[in-house]
């Protein structure tokens, strides 16, 4: 199981290296997930050990939100000053997501392809 944990961390590290080397405006872990995805596609499946490791990490996912919550509390004054733009962005993004999801569902239900 340790080997699969090292694999996950290695993919994340590789993603960070790619972002730093190329200057891509993406988080390193996103690139790392893409690398892992391609590797799993090439392999043809997910090894049982990697599946167990992912389940273990996901079962403790709530712990990973603690640092983000602390960050929010540390910057509460700044967030309060920008509350209206933040709330507007959240509402607009939610509405846009609902509209796009509904449009895609209609396309899939009708059997047509998008133009």
Q: Tens digit of pLDDT for each residue in 57-98? A: 999 988 888 888 888 888 889 889 999 999 999 999 999 999
Hey, how many other C-beta atoms are within 10 angstroms of the C-beta on 17? 13
Say if residue 52's pLDDT is above 80: yes
Radius of gyration of the chain from its Cα atoms, rounded to whole angstroms: 19
Contacts of 50 (CB under 8 A, 6+ apart): 4, 7, 8
pTM of the model: 0.61
For the segment 18-40, the average pLDDT, to the nearest whole number, is 94
């Amino acid at each position: 199981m340790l080997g699969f944990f090292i694999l996950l961390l290695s993919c994340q590290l590789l993603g960070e290296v790619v972002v730093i080397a190329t200057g891509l405006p993406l988080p390193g872990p996103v690139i790392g997930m893409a690398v892992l995805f391609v590797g799993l596609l090439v392999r043809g499946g997910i090894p049982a050990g990697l599946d167990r490791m992912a389940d273990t990490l996901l079962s403790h996912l709530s712990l990973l939100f603690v640092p983000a919550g602390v960050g929010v509390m540390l910057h509460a004054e700044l967030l309060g000053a920008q509350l209206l733009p933040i709330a507007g962005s959240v509402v607009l993004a939610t509405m846009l997501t609902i509209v796009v999801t509904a449009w895609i569902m209609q396309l899939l239900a009708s059997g047509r392809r998008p133009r």
